[in-house]
Amino acid sequence: MDSESQRWIERLRPGNRDRDAAIAELRELLLRAARFEVRRRCDRLSQIRGGDQEDLAQQSAGDAMVAILGKLDDFRGQSKFTTWAYKFALYEAAATIRKRAWQGRELPLEAEQWPQVPDPGPAPHGEVEMNDLLAAIREEIETSLTPRQRQVLVALALNEVPIDVLAERLDTTRGALYKVLHDARKRLRAALAERGMILDEQMEVSE
């Protein structure tokens, strides 16, 4: 662990005479990160105005502070302490904004948004045609997945509901929902392989 990070950890420990000053400094850092994230995201969200943005940043910085002080023992010094701390503020701000953006909206949990794909013509030998693949995925979602897997996959992957928004509505965690999504995807891939479908690299990358 670098000496600066070590000093942060020592100063933040209960009983340290410099703790109040360290907490005030950390709060400034977290607020800077939270404001950075709120500004980035709210550029795309017209419904969150200036005063609300500052409230969201303050709330996110406060939540991040609570998380950090409860997890000081988890800091292993594999990055700078400030980098480690920033990720909590960014995480809290991003999750808070996603939830705010979906506040009061009904979550689309049913498969209603399947795209209509024009026939692109024959695919190269051995590759799966887009229409066939989408049709197969659609069928396998209905027949191969459990109801829970279907609900989570459709909401997250098809309807693009943010994962922390869905987690809050279903009273679970982001990690638990991702596990369901991961298992659903694995099952779908296995079902497609059983059909003899060879997936083209281009179809596998989401970003």
Partner 1 sequence: MTRENRLIGRLLGPAGPELSCERCFEELDRYVQLELSGADADAAIPGLRAHLQGCSACAEDHESLRALLSEQGS
State the alpha helices, DSSP H only, in 71-116: 81-101
CB distance 104 to 163 below 8 Å:
no
Asked if residue 48 binds partner 1 (CB under 8 A), the reply is no
What backbone torsions phi and psi does residue 123 show, to the nearest 5 degrees? Answer: -85, 160
Looking at 26, 63, 91, 96, which residue binds partner 1 (CB under 8 A)?
Answer: 91
Asked if residue 8 binds partner 1 (CB under 8 A), the reply is no
Asked if residue 63 binds partner 1 (CB under 8 A), the reply is no
Distance CA 34, CA 41 (A): 11
Distance CA 133, CA 115 (A): 13
Asked if residue 38 binds partner 1 (CB under 8 A), the reply is no
Distance CA 46, CA 65 (A): 28
Site string for partner 1, 103-122 (x = CB under 8 A): ------------x-x-----
In angstroms, give the least distance from the CB of 10 to partner 1.
19
In angstroms, give the least distance from the CB of 126 to partner 1.
17
**In the chain, what are the helix, strand and coil shares in percent, each to the nearest 5?**
65, 0, 35
Looking at 31, 96, 162, 180, which residue binds partner 1 (CB under 8 A)?
Answer: 162
**Nearer CB in complex with partner 1: 42/181:** 181
Asked if residue 102 binds partner 1 (CB under 8 A), the reply is no
Asked if residue 185 binds partner 1 (CB under 8 A), the reply is yes
- CB 125: neighbour CB atoms within 10 A? 5
**Nearer CB in complex with partner 1: 49/186:** 186
Distance CA 78, CA 94 (A): 24
Q: What crossing angle do the helices spanning 174-194 and 130-143 adopt, rounded to 10°?
A: 120
Q: How many CA atoms lie within 13 A of 70 on its CB side?
A: 7
Residue ranges in contact with partner 1 by CB under 8 A: 33, 36-37, 40, 74, 78-80, 82-84, 86-87, 90-91, 94-95, 98, 115, 117, 130, 133-134, 137, 141, 153, 156-158, 160, 162-164, 174-175, 178-179, 181-182, 185, 188-189, 192, 199, 202-207
